[in-house]
Structure 1
Amino acid sequence: MATGLVGCASSPPKQFTRSADEFTPCSSAPHCVSSQAPRDSSKYVEPLRFAGATVAAARQALLKALYEADNARVERTEERFVHVTFRTTTGFVDDVAFLIQPEAQIIDVKSSSRIGYYDFNVNRKRVEHLRARFNALLDTPS
């Protein structure tokens, strides 16, 4: 079960972002996926989409999905940025960052292992699982 909610008013941390709208790129190792990677890249994953929903509803659905996720800890949450860590069953920590892009009605996502080379598709599967839960929560009237 996810724990912890830390609110801050500062910019997203530089280790995750280049700017308020852009993640740092994935490294060359195959343990990272990002919705901002080139579409023809093996690192590309679709962003979360919330067309037809408000930014507030999308943010609420995202946070609920994260709090319900196994082995997740919400480390930092801001108006447009969320950072979560996931601890794998083998004890490794993975970082997942989200950038809410209100104008495009998407939430960009980057999921990466902190150490190691291969992740055996864990980061991609995690993003797809979170996407499914996010979509289900957006479709459920509150």
Structure 2
Amino acid sequence: MKFKIIFFSVIMTMMNSTPTLASAIDKKLPLCASSPNCVSSQAGIHDKQHYILPFEIKGNPLQAWAALRKVIIKQPRMVITHETHTTLHAEATSLVFRFVDDINVVMDADAELIHIRSASRVGHSDFGVNRKRIETLRTELRKLGVID
């Protein structure tokens, strides 16, 4: 049994890869694959499986961005791995199996929106974890009064 767990862990670690942030320069998030383990505010609005509302900035976009950064840092097992003044990439690690999910964020100050994507790196279903993660961030930012 121990061998199976170790083998499974090694295979999952080898399969992990971080999506590129090159598309974030154009205010675009990576696309969601067809599997249901990803949500994105830039998915098609009719794609109920993947679409999630973007964060609508209320007030100063820089204050909303700073608040988002603080809220992400406070989340358990979530770390920011890369950021610029308008993009952010974080990784969330699951407690038991140590699966890593990627969170990509792009601020569109002109449209007063923060686009966000959360996706599992491996597997097919995430049991709604990625959607719940984004909604938790939304709730925290609303409490701070920086988004509608």
Q: Which residue among 106, 122, 125 is the counterpart of 2:132? A: 125
* TM-score, scaled to structure 2: 0.80
Higher radius of gyration, 1 or 2? 2
Which digits, 9 at most, give the CA deviation of each residue in 1:39-62, with x for residues without a partner?
Answer: 1111000111113x1111011110
For the aligned residue pairs, the C-alpha RMSD in angstroms reads: 1.6
Map residues 58-137 of structure 1 onto 2, 5 A cutoff: 58-89=64-95, 90-137=97-144
Q: Mark the CA change 1:33 to 1:134 in structure 2 (over 3 Å): closer, same or farther.
A: same
Task: Report how many aligned residue pairs link the two structures.
Answer: 126
What runs of 5+ residues in structure 1 fail to find an aligned partner? 1-12
Give the equivalent residue in structure 2 for 1:39.
45
More strand by share: 1
Which digits, 9 at most, give the CA deviation of each residue in 1:57-98, with x for residues without a partner?
Answer: 011110110111111001111110010000012210000010
CA distance in 1, matches of 2:53, 2:117: 10
Q: 1:24, CA displacement in angstroms?
A: 2.2
Which digits, 9 at most, give the CA deviation of each residue in 1:16-47, with x for residues without a partner?
Answer: 45352111210011100000001111100011
More helix by share: 2
Q: Percent identity?
A: 29
Asked if the contact 2:29/2:105 (under 8 Å) is kept, the reply is no
What runs of 5+ residues in structure 2 fail to find an aligned partner? 1-17
